[in-house]
Amino acid sequence: MNLYHFVDNIPNFPKKGINFKDIGPILESPDALKKVKELFLDIAKKYKIDLIGGLDARGFLFSTLISENLGIGSFMIRKSNKLPGNLVEKSYSLEYGTSTLSVQKKRNLKNKNIVLIDDLLATGGTLKCAEDLVLSCQGNVVASFVLIELSSLMGRNLLSSPLHSLLQYNED
């Protein structure tokens, strides 16, 4: 099954010059979603994992699916003002400003081997911030998984953990 056929390219969204990768067709197809799950599970089996951290928001779609199949827990890494309670937060730079990621302090990440999952890696700022956030909670990021990598933007170079991407696009 060619998963590239299940990604729609939407030009000039969310702003002019950006070619948005829409994963809606993957989510809509039970066969494509099953294939994504199987590929992520094959990679995950190479690691000793205690928890999976899903990045806000499309990372949640895959983190819970994979964690349930591995028989381990999942936790949310959310954007600012999306989680209640006491939080650990980290800010990072974007090309148009700054953003913040947070995790609840009551999540026990200390000394846990963690895989981070997101739908897409572009410049790497969000995933790098998530790595730093987990590290500040004394967790160990053993790997990062993404469905799509925009390889020409070289976001993987920012990461400390090994990156596994299922689909790679080399676009300017």
Active-site residue numbers? 58, 95
Structural Rg of the chain based on CA atoms: 15
Task: Tell me the two tokens of residue 72.
Answer: 């381990």
Cα 10 → chain centroid: 20
What is the rounded distance in angstroms from the CA atom of residue 24 to the CA atom of residue 68? 22
Strand partners, 148: 120, 167
Helix-strand-coil split of the chain, %, nearest 5:
35, 35, 30
Q: CB 42: neighbour CB atoms within 10 A?
A: 10
What is the rounded distance in angstroms from the CA atom of residue 130 to the CA atom of residue 1? 31
Task: Tell me the two tokens of residue 127.
Answer: 């995933």
What is the rounded distance in angstroms from the CA atom of residue 157 to the CA atom of residue 161? 10
Q: CB 132: neighbour CB atoms within 10 A?
A: 16
